[in-house]
Amino acid sequence: MAEYKEIDSVAVIELKNPPANALSKALVTGLNNGVKRAIDNPRIKSIVLIGNGQHFSAGADITEFPRVADVTSKQGVSLLTVGDVIESCNKPVVSAIHGVCFGGGLEIALFSHYRLAVQSAKLGFPEVSLGILPGANGTQRLPRVVGFEVAMDMIVSGKPVSAPQALQYGILDKIVDGDLLTAAVQFAKTLNTVPHDRRLKNVPVPNSENANKHFEEKLAKIKQKQRGYIAPINCLKAVKASVDLPYSEGVTKEFQLFMELMSSAQARGQQYSFFSERAATKWYLSASKNYKVSKDIPVKTAGVIGAGTMGSGIAVSLLTSGIPVILVEQDSKNLERGIELIKSILQGGVKLKRMTQSQMNQILQILQPTTKIEDLQSVDLIIEAVFENLKLKQELFSKLDKICKRDTVLCSNTSTLDIDKIAKSTSRPEKVVGTHFFAPAHIMPLLENVYGNHTSAETIATVMKLSKKIRKIPVLVKTCHGFVANRTFFEYSQELRFVVEEGLLPNEVDDILEDFGMPMGVFKVNDLSGIDVGWRIRQEQAIANGFNLTTNTRYINGERYCAIADKIFQAGRYGRKTGKGWYQYDKPGGRVAMVDPNVNNIILNHCKELGLTRRKISTQEVIERCMFAAINEGFRCLEDGIASKPEEIDTIWLHGFGFPRYRGGPMFYASQVGLRKVYERIKYYQKHFPETSHWIASEMLQRIAESGRNVPISEWTKFNPTPTSSRL
Ligand SMILES: CC(C)(COP(=O)(O)OP(=O)(O)OC[C@H]1O[C@@H](n2cnc3c(N)ncnc32)[C@H](O)[C@@H]1OP(=O)(O)O)[C@@H](O)C(=O)NCCC(=O)NCCSC(=O)C[C@@H](O)CCCCCCCCCCCCC(=O)O
Ligand SMILES: NC(=O)c1ccc[n+]([C@@H]2O[C@H](COP(=O)([O-])OP(=O)(O)OC[C@H]3O[C@@H](n4cnc5c(N)ncnc54)[C@H](O)[C@@H]3O)[C@@H](O)[C@H]2O)c1
């Protein structure tokens, strides 16, 4: 775990816990033993700590976190014990850093007396994103090096800094070229003693005159931008303690704030999210077809068809990742509009200093706009983003099949349509796959990749790898109407439309959702994605199922239907783009949503026409109805093999819909509420709303709820009554 060797008078202790040298109990114990061995050896004059493999250290081992009892019992060797041993050591200790030096790893480096790094190293405290704070004195030590304001920014944001930036801040003493170990040993040999100010606990916090002002400003920002999160606030308070209190009291305050977070439900949710987004990328069809063994096709060039809202954002994602794009539109007018859209997205990046003007120009050099689909003949992969119309997509895929080279992967950005039906129009269904981006496609981190019955493992591996290359978090799901994201979101939003039909106004519903932690209420989301888009999807589905949808529709095959959204559409209110939707905006494309009495009239008239008596609906009822409807559908996705594990559903909600990370995702939320309770409330709502089939409880949920025990999420799929998918 920690390998000890001697090079002349220097003891080298190598942190070794692949893949990221997470500081497990075993590694920390090994490190402690190594440092003590070096201290006890009179031939040793100095000590180098270095990481084995790709990183110095990714910090404390998060898998050991649930054992809070271990932390509080103060048993065994902790990061704090070894930290004290390092800092009080009379032989100079040098941390030699490469890869990442995060969290507890950086704390070890800050206990050391000197820090060197290679140019590409990254240093930071990402604890806040796990719902905790740097609990091995990082909040008290970093400010003593970089001052209050920089420490506050680094610890509250969790964002790492590059080695050159760390050198500028004084976190690093030196950036080294060439072999890190050789340079570190050489450096260590030049050291004899440990000066007083090299033990950070002896040093006052510099530049702390305006700490009160910075504290207040930051607190206000956190409350506005990270509403509901407690970790950033405790991080801030802990850093402030470094200014307000002597070191020995500061660390006590840090410990108290750390323990408060560590035992919180939010930390459990955020740590679950860390692991679930990694679990979600691990796809598995069978022993010979899974993420470990399947090879991808390298994507060196790509095509995008349709340069509308989605196509332009998708093109930007590819271009900014260095992949040349041929962009195809149906005519030159739409092509021109698409190019302008792409330019304006890139220009936004320049404005935000994410790229320079010259980088933007270089990116545009690898964009080839055209109205000729034949130009796509030799690209490696194509993403289609034309209107949501099955016939149109089938015609297009059939054409592509004839034009493109045999191994070109054909992707559709459809948000609902069956991938098998699209693949059917080609002679290469194994190369057809869904790549469902979320709007705005260049910003939203999720990519819901969708495989059909014939999609090959090679095609899946290709889009999963591409997702990472274009900085997206991929999840693989199986085809069905709406896949996992829209299938579950549909039940959530449908239930909220029923709530509006029964008594609340859209802004009242949105306020409740935003207080729950959603970044935007459902009606604001509708306005953003386009009320016409939802209308078209409902129409398309109605046609496919052979019924006629009108603003008078109240039931579809005996199922309750709420036509208010269709009435909003009929009124020409398509959302933000037309300056009015569920809300009123100052102008088309405006951002500030204002309550519109005309919308309230549409709703009230709708209820009057149907003879509905409106009622008050509690916050609890709103949250239960929308969340439990989505959760029940999530269980059905598992039953149908559309999702293979709850973590996939949660990752989709976290990164596709901005579900609050501290709640882990809807399935994790269900586990926290308790599946027994979720199941009972679903049965209660089924009694009250028998005309809504999403209140028929999933059998899988029922089985778990009735098992009489608290089944951990990792075991839920064992209760699947219909394990039809080979993925289960
Ligand atoms: C490191 C990464 C940047 C790597 O990214 P990459 O994309 O390359 O790969 P993956 O993300 O897929 O990761 C690969 C693999 O590794 C696993 N993993 C990564 N990091 C960790 C980790 N920290 N712990 C466990 N496992 C980890 C990951 O799950 C993958 O596994 P898989 O099975 O899927 O292959 C990237 O992974 C990354 O960013 N990691 C997280 C970094 C992070 O968040 N670090 C912070 C950790 S929290 C921390 O360090 C807390 C500290 O402040 C210490 C607090 C301790 C305080 C104790 C105080 C109380 C003591 C009281 C006792 C007193 C008595 C006494 O006085 O002694
Ligand atoms: N808007 C969203 O929020 C969203 C999110 C995820 C997925 N989607 C899906 O993405 C797809 C595109 O949606 P959008 O919102 O970008 O639509 P959009 O109307 O903004 O853009 C569609 C573009 O396709 C072009 N087009 C139509 N037929 C074409 C053809 N034969 N050849 C070349 N170009 C053609 C149109 O000119 C238009 O510019 C749809 O399948 C939709 O369901 C949309």
Residue 238 phi, psi dihedral angles, 5° rounding: -65, -45
Q: Which ligand does the CA of 159 lie closest to? A: 1
Higher pLDDT, 529 or 467: 467
Side by side, the strands of the sheet bearing 122-124 are 100-102, 122-124, 161-162
Residue 451 phi, psi dihedral angles, 5° rounding: -100, 150
Average of pLDDT values for 327-338? Answer: 97
Q: How confident is the model at residue 728 (pLDDT cuts 50, 70, 90)?
A: very low
pLDDT the model gives residue 67: 63
Longest C-alpha distance within the chain, in Å? 92
Whole-complex ipTM: 0.94
328-333's contacts with Cβ under 8 Å and 24+ in sequence apart are 328/303, 328/304, 328/370, 328/371, 328/372, 328/373, 328/375, 328/376, 329/305, 329/369, 329/371, 330/371, 330/386, 331/371, 332/371
Percentage of the chain modeled with pLDDT above 90: 92
Instruction: Give per-residue pLDDT as tens, 170-190.
Output: 999 999 999 999 999 999 999
Task: List the one residue out of 21, 98, 1 whose CA is nearest residue 62.
Answer: 21
Distance 277 CA to ligand 1 centre (A): 14
pLDDT the model gives residue 533: 86
Q: How confident is the model at residue 388 (pLDDT cuts 50, 70, 90)?
A: confident
- CATH 3.40.50.720 for domain 295-479, yes or no, is yes
Most ligand 1 atoms within 8 A of CB, residue of 62, 263, 273 to mutate:
62
Q: How confident is the model at residue 529 (pLDDT cuts 50, 70, 90)?
A: confident
Residue 13 phi, psi dihedral angles, 5° rounding: -115, 120
Estimate the crossing angle of helix 619-639 against helix 646-656, to 10 degrees: 130
Does the pTM surpass 0.90? The reply is yes
Distance 358 CA to ligand 2 centre (A): 30
pLDDT of 594 over the 60 cut: yes
Task: List the one residue out of 439, 387, 396, 392 whose CA is nearest residue 414.
Answer: 387
Q: Which residue's C-alpha comes closest to atom 44 of ligand 1?
A: 126
The burial class, CB within 10 Å (0-12 / 13-18 / 19+), for 178 is: exposed
pLDDT of 726 over the 60 cut: no
Average of pLDDT values for 680-686? Answer: 98
- Yes or no: say if 11 and 17 are a contact pair by the CB < 8 Å rule: no
pLDDT the model gives residue 465: 98
The domain made up of 2-262 has a fold known as: 2-enoyl-CoA Hydratase; Chain A, domain 1 (3.90.226)
The binding-site residues of ligand 2, defined as CB within 6 angstroms of any ligand atom, are 305-311, 328-330, 334, 385-388, 396, 413-415, 437-439, 529-530, 533
Distance 305 CA to ligand 2 centre (A): 8
pLDDT the model gives residue 77: 72
pLDDT the model gives residue 725: 47
Read off the amino acid at residue 328: V
- Yes or no: say if 422 and 432 are a contact pair by the CB < 8 Å rule: yes
- Yes or no: say if 70 and 36 are a contact pair by the CB < 8 Å rule: no
Q: Which residue's C-alpha comes closest to atom 60 of ligand 1?
A: 71
pLDDT the model gives residue 76: 63
Q: How far is CA 408 from CA 199, 297, 600, in A?
A: 59, 9, 50
pLDDT of 61 over the 60 cut: yes
Side by side, the strands of the sheet bearing 174-176 are 2-7, 10-15, 46-51, 93-97, 114-118, 174-176
The set of catalytic residues is 107, 127
Most ligand 1 atoms within 8 A of CB, residue of 72, 85, 102, 108 to mutate:
102
Distance 399 CA to ligand 2 centre (A): 18
Q: How confident is the model at residue 537 (pLDDT cuts 50, 70, 90)?
A: confident
Task: List the one residue out of 526, 171, 465 whose CA is nearest residue 323.
Answer: 465
The chain-wide mean pLDDT, for the chain, equals 95
Nearest-5° angle of CA 30, CA 32, CA 37?
A: 95
Atom number in ligand 2 closest to CA 384: 11
Distance 354 CA to ligand 2 centre (A): 27
Helical segments of 470-618, H only: 485-502, 506-516, 522-529, 531-544, 564-570, 597-610
Q: Which residue's C-alpha comes closest to atom 30 of ligand 2?
A: 330
Instruction: Give per-residue pLDDT as tens, 187-199.
Output: 999 999 999 999 9
pLDDT of 727 over the 60 cut: no
322: left (phi over 0), alpha (psi -120 to 50) or beta: left
**Domain ranges across the chain:** 2-262, 295-479, 486-719
- Give the residue carrying structure tokens 């015609």: 395
- Yes or no: say if 522 and 509 are a contact pair by the CB < 8 Å rule: yes
Tell how strand 10-15 and strand 2-7 pair up. antiparallel
Q: How far is CA 222 from CA 67, 139, 211, 226, in A?
A: 29, 18, 16, 5
Task: List the one residue out of 329, 419, 332, 413 whose CA is nearest residue 375.
Answer: 329
Atom number in ligand 2 closest to CA 307: 39
Given 3.40.50.300, 1.10.1040.50, 2.160.10.10, 1.10.8.10, which CATH number is that of 486-719?
1.10.1040.50
Instruction: Give per-residue pLDDT as tens, 207-238.
Output: 889 999 999 999 999 999 999 999 999 999 99
